[in-house]
Amino acid sequence: MNHLIALDWGTSSFRAYLLDAAGSIVETRSRPWGIRQLPDGGFGGAFAAMVAGWPDCPVIAAGMVGSRNGWQEVPYLDIPAGVDELAAALVPVAAPGGRVVHLVPGLHNSRGPDVMRGEETQLVGALALRPPPQGEATVVLPGTHSKWVRVKEGVVTDFVTTMTGELFALLSRHSILAVEIKPDAPLDVDAFSRGVRTARASGAAGGVSRLFSTRALMLDGTLDASSVPDYLSGLLIGEEIRSTLADGRMDCTLPLRLVGDAALGARYRMAASDFSLTVSPAVEDTAAHGLWLIARRAHLHERTIHGVSP
């Protein structure tokens, strides 16, 4: 396989990578063409425009492109599952120019129930780039829908989703707690830590029961309006950690690994320290490596050469 085109195609964004035979990134392209913001021509048109001029080579894609509202729905795989199971379950979709896009399935957890789509590929890349010393770890993927994942020898054995990022967006923009958020404002560490400690101290009631404290602290002058977003962020992340520890499904005595945006990961590391947890620095941009590994395990180069689709 001289080259591979790897697509990370989500709800709001579309990123494409041209990889060489060793899995190194030759070129990256990005467009705001998530599955809800497609250009003229739909999925096929977006794909053709994104890969124009790139070699005729195998193509693999992960993310919401394989969801019910995506290019073609790809059934979830039940866990336990790892890279071998993902590679064996790729679904081919015909694309413009005679190409075939191989869609990666998401994962389903009957305990919950719970699902993930896209994060499984980030996990594959992250675990290969930084293997857990003992082969077992708890991995945290912060984001709109944060995931806590148990992995053993590269296999996902359990996971839990918390809607922390989406709750923050809704509360900070569309509730009585909404204030103007300045994108480049530095983190108010004191306000953030206060929010984390409030969630930690909420006990059986939970951090959600303390949400209105955000407004009360602002009204009595204890919390400046500009610090409200960081207090609320700390409260919600703190509640995510508190509830996960209380639930007991994630073994937090294992090495805790962060995968995703470094800035958001820094908040999680700060919050975790208030719970006496140690979390590794975040590993970023692992989707491309994960896609390359899945493609290699699926022998896409051989299937393309012999004209065989999975």
User: What's the rounded Cα separation, in Å, for the pair 85 and 44?
Assistant: 27
Sequential pLDDT tens for the chain (310 residues)? 689 999 999 999 999 999 999 999 999 999 999 999 999 999 999 999 999 999 999 999 999 999 999 999 999 999 999 999 999 999 999 999 999 999 999 999 999 999 999 999 999 999 999 999 888 999 999 999 999 999 999 999 999 999 999 999 999 999 999 988 887 889 999 999 999 999 999 999 999 999 999 999 999 999 999 999 999 999 999 999 999 999 999 999 887 999 999 999 999 999 999 999 989 989 999 999 999 999 999 999 775 433 444 3
HSE value, Cβ hemisphere, 13 Å, CA-based, for 75: 6
What is residue 3's three-state secondary structure? strand
The Cα–Cα gap between 66 and 63 comes to 6
Q: What is the DSSP string of 133-180?
A: TTSEEEEEE-STTEEEEEEETTEEEEEEEE-HHHHHHHHHHHSTT---
Task: Please name the residue that has the structure tokens 């945290």.
Answer: 140
**Residue 239 near residue 206 (C-beta atoms within 8 A):** yes
Q: Strand, coil or helix: what is 19? A: strand
DSSP-derived letter for residue 83 is H
**Which residue is listed with tokens 């866990």?**
79
| CA–CA separation, 143 and 11 (whole Å) | 13
Q: CA 120 to CA 65: how far, in whole Å?
A: 14
- Cα 103 to the chain's mean position, in Å? 17
Handedness of CA 124, 130, 131, 134 (dihedral sign): negative
Q: Which domains does the chain have, with CATH numbers?
A: 3-125+286-305 (3.30.420.300), 160-273 (3.30.420.310)
Q: Which helix (H) or strand (E) holds 264?
A: helix 262-273
Strand partners, 62: 8
Beta carbons of 117 and 63 less than 8 angstroms apart: yes
Are 272 and 279 a contacting pair, CB within 8 Å? yes
Residue ranges of E strands in 39-99:
59-62, 77-78, 91-94
* DSSP code per residue over 212-274: THHHHHHHTTSS-GGGHHHHHHHHHHHHHHHHHHHH--S-TTSPEEEBS-HHHHHHHHHHHHT
Which token pair is 8? Answer: 């990370």
User: How confident is the model at residue 310, as a pLDDT?
Assistant: 38
